[in-house]
């Protein structure tokens, strides 16, 4: 089955810095890669996703890049703010109809004012 590795497990940055979280996946058939943000005590919420037919996707301060050859994808957050502090999870899934998501173990991002 699919295996998703996520690094680092903890990331501390100063407000205004950039943060990068990296994930690798094992199954070359996977073609859908979402990122979820989970604030303390809350549910995970989708913040951005990318499909294997594109190499990069941006949404304001958040971007995701995908390297299919190397089987890795990354989340980039620019101009970090204290409210970006949360646990971030990457995931991978094979082509639809329905295919379950395999999640990484998460990265705790701490943004200090």
Give the interface with another protein as residue ranges (CB under 8 A).
1, 6, 9, 32, 34, 42-46, 49, 89, 93, 96-101, 103-106
Phi, psi of 76 (to 5 degrees): -120, 125
Which of 74, 104 has the CB closer to another protein? 104
Least Å distance, CB 104 to another protein, is 6
CA–CA separation, 21 vs 76, rounded Å?
A: 7
Least Å distance, CB 29 to another protein, is 13
| E-strand stretches of 1-113 | 4-7, 10-14, 19-25, 32-38, 45-51, 56-59, 62-67, 72-77, 86-92, 102-103, 107-112
* Chain centroid offset of residue 57 CA: 12
Which of 1, 113 has the CB closer to another protein? 1
Which of 73, 89 has the CB closer to another protein? 89
CA–CA separation, 13 vs 78, rounded Å?
A: 11
Which of 28, 45 has the CB closer to another protein? 45
Q: Where are the alpha helices (DSSP H) in the chain?
A: none
């Amino acid at each position: 089955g699919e295996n998703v590795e996520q690094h680092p497990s903890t990331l501390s940055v100063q407000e205004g810095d950039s943060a990068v979280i990296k994930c690798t996946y094992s199954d070359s058939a996977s073609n859908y890669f979402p990122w979820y943000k989970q604030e303390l005590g809350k549910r995970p919420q989708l913040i951005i996703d990318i499909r294997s037919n594109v190499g990069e996707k941006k949404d304001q301060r958040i971007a995701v890049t995908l390297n299919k050859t190397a089987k890795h994808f990354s989340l980039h957050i620019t101009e970090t703010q204290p409210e970006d502090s949360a646990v971030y999870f990457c995931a991978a899934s094979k082509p639809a109809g329905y295919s379950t998501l395999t999640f990484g173990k998460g990265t705790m991002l701490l943004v200090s004012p």
